[in-house]
Amino acid sequence: MLNYHYYYFLNRYFIGMANENVPYETRTIRMNQDTIGHRFELYMTPGDGRFEKLTGRRRLFRNTRKDLVAGIISAAIMIPLAMGFAMASGLHPEQGVAGGAVAALIGALFGGSKYQVYGPSAALIPVIGGLMAIYDTGFLLLASFIAGILLLLSGLLKLGRITEKIPRSAAVGLTLGMVLIIIFSQVNHATGLHGHAGYKLTDQLRFWMENIYTINIAALTMTVCTCIICQAFIRISRFIPGLFLAMAFGYFGAKTFWSGKGVELIGDKYTSLADGFFTIASTTTGAGWGAKTFFDLLYFSVAIFTVVLIESTSSGRRADRLAPNEGHPFNPHKELWGNGIINIFSPVFNGMPVCGTWTGTSANTRTGAISPLSGLVRCGFILLLSASLISYIEKVPLACMAGILLSVAINKVKRIEIKEVFRMGTFHFMLMIATALMVPLFGFVPAVLISLSIYILFRRGLRKKIKEDVINQQEEVVV
């Protein structure tokens, strides 16, 4: 009897259009309606076919077990990632965890991918960090709200495929640029330096050069050891949450052989983490409203919107290829709609702007996720693990968190992608290098705009040159 009611509950409230009693042709017709009203109805329906593999009693519990395992493992991976990226962005670690939990719930219900994992992104570090250097969390909430509205409109207007126009060389360059952002954002924590290094590459380099003689060897050693542990577990098994275990290693290391070595803990810098969970953020801001403030609000809102647009749609498409997904395909337009809802509500619950992240999504897919049910499981376990382990998390060294993020940065570098761009020609290789350098120097959004402008100008010039060469060859043949 319990099994029957569990099966009925999933089919009635979550699977919806994926129900086995609804013909595939009927589902396709519903999904292909092209009016704003039908899109809104589709986007607000949790069961849009993404739960299709949970239909049928025979495979329901087998696939549910897969989602359960994937959800638990991805939750353990996302907790240290969310904390690390939140701290690198100038926020408190619990804001990253809260944002990841809210995003997991809303993304599972209203996202466009079966496998997507949502959380803080490296590309958002300079955006949020730059905002927090001038304004407060109330201003961040407003910027995230406006970005969410833009994402909702983009989903309704079917702009989800616009990122497919980004050339491969620029996309790889953006990834490498995020690697540089992660590395330089962790310089002070990895070396045990006290103080604020800033969010610009030049400020971070200046800070490191000015304090190079005060490096804490114990902190540096812990960073290297943590990074090695993360890499080792990745190679041992994809079912072992190496990032979470590395955080446990840092806790025991700070209690034993690194005790009294001057290694700074999370609780030393961010006090009372438990007070930040399950709270409603203030919507008031102390910013004085003038022309510059309104311009900054518009800039940061568009910047958050652009990062989420590119990161989420790119990650969703890659997840379908990795799975491989042979059923209900990734819907980039619905993905933007889901991200819009996420970024409206995440800061309200003391979270932060988030998007689909490839690090978490790839882990979720490789560990056997079948449907967004893994996202619902992930939301529950993020809250459960964070609430139960908060007193231990406060005693994890910042150097350990730096090692975890450096491990993530190393895994983002794919030699096969760099070789692929190299084979595309000198221009594309140089465009990749230039884009990678522009991301930490100027920010994610300016890097995207400049790289696309260079690509468009070069493509027009290249087409003109090819056309002239063809005409000259034809004239020579005629002569």
Residue type, 199: Y
Structure tokens at 419: 């070789």
Find the angle CA(359)-CA(130)-CA(139) to the nearest 5 degrees.
100
- The string of DSSP codes covering 88-110 is HTTS-HHHHHHHHHHHHHHHHHH
- Tens of pLDDT along 225-257? 999 999 999 888 888 888 999 999 999 999 988
Strand partners, 48: 16
How many CB atoms are closer than 10 A to CB 427? 15
What's the Cα-to-Cα distance from 89 to each of 168, 181, 352, 366, 387, rounded to whole Å?
27, 11, 10, 28, 22
Break the chain down into helix, strand, coil percent, rounded to 5. Answer: 75, 0, 25
Helix (H), strand (E) at residue 44: none
- Tens of pLDDT along 136-176? 888 999 999 999 999 999 999 999 988 888 898 999 999 99
Helix (H), strand (E) at residue 388: helix 373-393
DSSP at 53:
G
CB 368 within 8 A of CB 66: yes
Domain range enclosing 331: 2-426
- Find all residues with CB under 8 Å of 443, minimum gap 6, and list them: 126, 127, 130, 303
Residue 434 located in a structural domain: no
CA gap 431, 426 in Å, rounded:
8
Residue 438 located in a structural domain: no
CA gap 337, 205 in Å, rounded:
38
**Total number of domains in the chain:** 1
Q: Identify the three-state secondary structure at position 341.
A: helix
Residue 470 located in a structural domain: no
* Count of alpha carbons within 13 angstroms of residue 422, beta-carbon side: 6
Cα Rg for the chain, rounded, in angstroms? 23
- Among 175, 118, 115, 65, smallest CA distance to 321 is for 115
In this predicted structure, what is the pLDDT of residue 429?
93
Residue 267 located in a structural domain: yes
pLDDT tens by residue, the chain, 479 residues: 444 444 444 444 444 444 444 443 344 444 455 788 888 888 998 877 888 888 777 778 888 899 999 999 999 999 999 999 999 888 999 999 999 999 999 999 999 999 999 999 888 888 898 898 888 888 999 999 999 999 999 999 999 988 888 898 999 999 999 899 889 888 888 988 877 777 777 888 888 888 888 889 999 999 999 999 999 998 888 888 889 999 999 999 999 888 888 888 998 888 777 666 667 766 666 667 788 889 999 999 999 999 999 999 999 999 999 888 888 899 999 999 999 999 999 998 888 999 999 989 999 999 989 999 999 999 999 999 888 888 899 899 999 999 999 999 998 888 999 999 999 889 999 999 999 999 988 888 889 899 999 998 887 665 555 454 444 444 444 44
How many CB atoms are closer than 10 A to CB 210? 12
Q: Where are the beta strands (DSSP E) in 353-478?
A: 355-356
CA gap 132, 137 in Å, rounded:
7
Residue 122 located in a structural domain: yes
In this predicted structure, what is the pLDDT of residue 107?
94
CA gap 164, 171 in Å, rounded:
10
Residue 76 located in a structural domain: yes
Residue 61 located in a structural domain: yes
Q: What percent of the chain has pLDDT over 70?
A: 86
Residue 441 located in a structural domain: no
CA gap 58, 72 in Å, rounded:
23
- Among 171, 110, 155, 179, smallest CA distance to 311 is for 171
Q: ω before 120 within 30° of 0 (cis)?
A: no
Confidence (pTM)? 0.86
The mean of the pLDDT values for the chain is 84
